[in-house]
Amino acid sequence: MSVAVVKVGGAVATSAARQVRNLSRHHEVVVVHGAGPQITDEMARRGLPVEFVGGRRVTSAATLEVVEESLAAVNAELCAAIGPRAQPLPDGALEATLVPGLGFVGDPVPWASPRVASALVAGRIPVVAPLARGPLNVNGDDAAAALAVGLRAERLVFVMDVPGVLVEGEVAPAIAADEAERLVHAGTFTDGIVPKLLAAARAARRGIVAEIGQTAVTA
């Protein structure tokens, strides 16, 4: 059975559980989730500054503590929503290289994580938080693409709270990787869709079927 990696945003984590279960009927499914809204809210509550550089959250030691706690909470909630097949992997299932100047932030490397592979062999659905060994805070979209490449997945699916990639106000049914990168660098897209488009483009070039909502990203 082929592998599908599903990236679930923190804002839609528990509501995406049904889609994960449906995909698991046809694929071995690996779930990567975020916790962006939860992290930002808790940082605000603690009076910690929120700063992003290139889609990556600048992560001090105090911020890392919030990241770890928030990811663990979302991981547990998502596993409960998916059901008994879910295998929680709240940290350490990724490899990453340190990104200079951003604190405890890593750039994930393509890797067939043994912990993820073992869970799949056991018939489980690994639920991976984007916290690499170190620990290093990793962008969840980049983490999903790195796992998809490392595991030689057939599909990379981004589940979010919008229907797809909006181009001139309409959901695009498909967008080529080169065009996606051109539009990103031209400033057409901003905020959270940017790392998704770039991650999907990288995966598409490796032969992976990449989907952002209803939008296919093609090589």
- Per-residue pLDDT for the chain (219 aa), expressed as one digit of tens each? 899 999 998 777 778 899 999 999 999 999 999 999 999 999 999 999 999 987 789 999 999 999 999 999 999 999 999 999 999 999 999 999 999 999 999 999 999 999 999 999 999 999 999 999 999 999 999 999 999 999 999 999 999 888 899 888 899 999 999 999 999 999 888 888 899 999 999 999 999 999 999 999 999
Q: Is residue 137 part of a domain?
A: yes
CB 157 within 8 A of CB 3: no
CB atoms within 10 A of CB 88: 18
Q: Is the pTM of this model over 0.75?
A: yes
The tally of domains found in the chain comes to 1
Q: What angle do CA 190, 195, 200 make, to 5 degrees?
A: 125
Phi, then psi, of 6 in degrees rounded to 5? -115, 120
Q: CA-to-CA distance for 186 and 188, rounded, in angstroms?
A: 6
Q: Is residue 13 part of a domain?
A: yes
For residue 98, the domain's CATH number is: 3.40.1160.10
Nearest-CA neighbor of 157 among 9, 6, 16? 6
CB 87 within 8 A of CB 119: yes
State residue 9's pLDDT score: 82
Q: Both ends of the chain: CA-CA distance in Å?
A: 23
Tabulate helix, strand, coil % of the chain (nearest 5). 40, 25, 35
State residue 191's pLDDT score: 81
Q: Is residue 166 part of a domain?
A: no
Residue 58 lies in domain: 3-161
208 residue type, one letter:
I
Q: Is residue 114 part of a domain?
A: yes
Residues contacting residue 212 through CB under 8 Å, at least 6 positions apart: 158, 160, 164, 165, 193, 196, 197, 200
Q: Is residue 187 part of a domain?
A: no
Cα atoms found within 13 Å of the Cα of residue 115, Cβ hemisphere only: 15
State residue 161's pLDDT score: 82
Q: Is residue 197 part of a domain?
A: no
